[in-house]
Amino acid sequence: MPAHRGRRRSSATPFARGQGVVEYGLILSLSALLALVLLVFFGSTLSAFLQAVGDAIDAAT
């Protein structure tokens, strides 16, 4: 019986695992940047909308 039989080896090399972490970081940073840009451009509109929702809730209670 070969010595390596029964042992599980990961098919991903350390480079591939590191690449996955980098890709995850890039996706996360791009998502955060997109959220920031959207808040800058639509912040006042969003604020007015949320204020109107809050006022409607206050009026209903």
Number of domains in the chain: 1
Whether residue 53 lies inside any domain: the answer is yes
Whether residue 41 lies inside any domain: the answer is yes
pLDDT digits (tens, 9 = 90+) for 7-37: 666 666 767 778 888 999 999 999 999 999 9
Predicted confidence at residue 61, as pLDDT, reads: 84
User: For 51, how many CA atoms within 13 A lie in the half-sphere containing its CB?
Assistant: 6
DSSP 13: -
Enclosing domain of residue 50? 34-61
Return the SS3 of 40: helix
Predicted confidence at residue 16, as pLDDT, reads: 72
**26 and 19 in contact (C-beta within 8 Å)?**
no
